[in-house]
């Protein structure tokens, strides 16, 4: 008799375990899938947005570009086709927030090193100073890996327009010419459709953690 009950006790434990797994799977299936918002110019602080796009509420994407990276190679939107990427604005002689931003971008670089879906893109806001040779020197000093991360320079007007009309990541200076700007500490997460999916304080380690978490959410949205 005891042996009989032992057999049924074992069966009961097995059934209980199976039931727990089923309940867990149903619970997960019923949970709403995490998604990231698609940001538009109207969602941003107006100080960061050019007047021409300030009230745009849908269909905003990053404009096409043609710039030169640390190796003297022309970099265009084609190099980022079907890629998720993180963009920012900096300059190599910046003594304040740029070194911290670069250090945190290196952290992101190390996390995505083997991930072929994700790249990085840093734009110089002082292209006259940041020549190809200067960018290369900076890249070597900071540990930039060419296959993952482009530091780009080029036409000042084009970079200004990208910062103010596309990435929404710079304020106007106003006292040094029509295309002078003050870049922010923002890192911008861009999806494969060239849309902004998040902005993060590039000097804040907790914001970097959030960016990496959001990156995982964004990547998962392309596998469903």
- Phi first, then psi, for residue 186 (nearest 5°) are -70, 140
User: Beta strand 181-183 with 186-190: parallel, antiparallel or unpaired?
Assistant: unpaired
Residue 98 labeled ligand binder: yes
Nearest-angstrom CA–CA distance, 214 and 115: 15
Residue 123 labeled ligand binder: no
Answer for the pair 41, 53: CB distance below 8 angstroms, yes or no: yes
107 Cβ contact partners less than 8 Å away, ≥ 6 residues apart: 208
Nearest-angstrom CA–CA distance, 191 and 218: 8
Residue 94 labeled ligand binder: yes
List, as residue ranges, the binding site for Cu cation: 94, 98, 183
List, as residue ranges, the binding site: 94, 98, 183
């Amino acid at each position: 008799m005891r042996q009989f009950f032992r057999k049924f006790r074992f069966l009961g434990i097995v059934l209980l375990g199976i039931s727990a797994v089923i309940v867990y799977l149903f619970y997960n299936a019923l949970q709403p899938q995490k998604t990231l918002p698609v940001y538009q110019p109207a969602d941003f602080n107006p100080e960061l947005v050019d007047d021409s796009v300030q009230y745009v509420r849908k269909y905003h994407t990053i404009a096409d570009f043609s710039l030169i990276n640390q190796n003297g190679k022309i970099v265009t939107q084609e190099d980022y086709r079907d890629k998720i990427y993180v963009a920012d604005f900096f300059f190599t002689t910046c003594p304040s927030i740029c070194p911290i931003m670069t250090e945190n971008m290196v952290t992101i670089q190390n996390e995505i090193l083997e991930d072929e879906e994700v790249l990085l893109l840093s734009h110089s806001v002082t292209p006259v100073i940041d020549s190809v040779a200067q960018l290369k020197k900076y890249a070597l000093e900071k540990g930039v890996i060419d296959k993952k991360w482009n530091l780009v320079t080029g036409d000042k007007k084009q970079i200004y327009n990208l910062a103010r009309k596309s990435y929404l990541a710079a304020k106007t200076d106003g006292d040094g010419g029509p295309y002078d700007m003050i870049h922010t500490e923002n890192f911008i997460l861009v999806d494969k459709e060239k849309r902004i999916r998040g902005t993060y304080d590039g000097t804040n380690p907790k914001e970097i953690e959030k960016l990496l978490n959001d990156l995982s959410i964004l990547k998962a949205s392309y596998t469903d």
